[in-house]
Amino acid sequence: MVAELISVGTELLLGNIVNTNAQFLAEQCALLGLSAYNQCVVGDNRERLAEAFRTALKRSDIVILTGGLGPTEDDLTKEVCAEVLGIPLVEDAHTRERLEAYFADSVYKEIPDNNWKQAEVPAGAKILDNANGTAPGLILEKFGKSVILLPGPPDELVPLFRDQVTPYLRALQPEYIFSRMVKICGIGESAVEEKLIDLIDGQTNPTVATYAKIGEVHVRVTARAAGEEEAKKLIKPVVKEIRSRLGDSVYSIREEETLEMAVVGLLKKYGLTVTTAESCTGGLLAGRLVNVPGASEVFREGVITYSNKAKKKMLDVSKSTLKKYGAVSEQTAREMAVGGVFATDADACVAVTGIAGPDADGDKPVGLVYIACYMNDKVRVEKFLFKGNRSKIREQSVVKALDLLRRSILDNYRK
């Protein structure tokens, strides 16, 4: 089945916002096994929206429209779709009740009249209750086509799609598509491909495909089968094989688990605490750890020692090390990591020192970064030469620091 996306909104045509909804929906549709050949963006304009919708209806089985479901006069998506499909709009009592409850809870004293427009739906539409906003999602079926209307704000669209549209789209299809993401860190995309080349080229069900992310590689394994159990059964041995080939480079096989979540999980598992000592990353490494709710159990404090003086004072890096080897050196990284543990009562410390640019430091090039991890009386230091601009270099440094911490935990504590 072919699905097509129409994003409605003048703010997209003017470049005021990035169309992240299109990426999310395209990825979700691909995961559901739908084919995609076209996407388009139109403004809040009756004629052009109608034309785009008619074109999409002709060439696709499923048309997903996002945006333009709000209460203002500019919001036309529902009206235009109903008109093109020849379906009248009727008030939906259930949606009206939900709107009344929403406004009763809100700070509004008077409810603007035009809000009731959101209780009108094309007759016979499936209503998708929106827990995070006022406009419900809608599914219309006519001429053997499915038309899905979703509100534009991502925090409304994403849960609506995940919870209500996904099961609907699954049920439309004869096959069940299931996929799992194997998340990998510490080995590049071409090396991953080399190790998995027979699986990537030779497998047809499940299929195996790689995706490069900053400092990470993700491998998606996708199976088609009559049902969920069967699809999962097809996937299981392939995921197992990938894990056995890539070993500790695999940090997760859960779609929603980030690298920092995996690291915090390991720290919790082994009852460890960690501290951070950052120079070029300037707090971003600690910031990533603190992304994880509940990080306070394993991360209590960290320091940012951007100057040499701070490295000496806060981490006890020796003056002679800084003088002899410089702030960006294996020796300084090592002393920062050791100093971090002794300055706190953490079990481990990850330290980062490097040159994020734009200027090089004498004969040391932009992108040169040393990362050290002190744990269990041992220090492990790694040297990197990253490419890219200042922010890319810093992002990659953070990923590698998290990964060094992860590998150090595995090496030291895994039984």
Give min distance, CB of 89 to a second copy, in A.
Answer: 26
Distance, CA of 264 to CA of 219 (rounded, Å): 22
Q: Which range binds a second copy by CB under 8 A, 7-15, 83-91, 109-117, 244-252?
A: 7-15
Contacts 24+ apart (CB under 8 A), 321-328: 326/361, 326/362, 326/364, 327/279, 327/353, 327/361, 328/279, 328/280, 328/353, 328/354, 328/355, 328/361, 328/364, 328/368, 328/369, 328/370
Give min distance, CB of 54 to a second copy, in A.
Answer: 13
Does residue 256 touch a second copy according to CB under 8 A?
Answer: no
Give min distance, CB of 411 to a second copy, in A.
Answer: 26
Which residues in the 308-347 window bind a second copy by CB under 8 A?
A: 309-310, 313-314, 344
Distance, CA of 309 to CA of 318 (rounded, Å): 10
Compute φ and ψ for 224, nearest 5 degrees: -120, 135
107, 167, 204, 296: residue in contact with a second copy (rule CB under 8 A): 296
| CB within 8 Å of 301: residues ≥ 6 apart | 275, 344, 346
Does residue 355 touch a second copy according to CB under 8 A?
Answer: no
Distance, CA of 411 to CA of 249 (rounded, Å): 12
Closer to a second copy by CB, 18 or 93: give it. 18
Closer to a second copy by CB, 210 or 412: give it. 210
Does residue 107 touch a second copy according to CB under 8 A?
Answer: no
Which residues in the 185-224 window bind a second copy by CB under 8 A?
A: 211
Q: Which range binds a second copy by CB under 8 A, 45-53, 88-96, 188-196, 401-409?
A: 45-53
Q: How many residues bind a second copy (CB under 8 A)?
A: 69
38, 166, 203, 412: residue in contact with a second copy (rule CB under 8 A): 38
Closer to a second copy by CB, 96 or 312: give it. 312
Cis amide prior to 293 (ω within 30 degrees): no
Distance, CA of 357 to CA of 23 (rounded, Å): 31
Element (H, E) at 236: helix 228-246
Distance, CA of 314 to CA of 305 (rounded, Å): 7
β-partners of residue 8 are: 42
41, 85, 87, 90: residue in contact with a second copy (rule CB under 8 A): 41
Closer to a second copy by CB, 301 or 382: give it. 301
Contacting residues toward a second copy, per CB under 8 A = 12-20, 22-30, 36-43, 45, 48, 52, 155, 211, 276, 278, 280-287, 289-291, 293, 295-296, 299-307, 309-310, 313-314, 344, 356-359, 389-391, 394
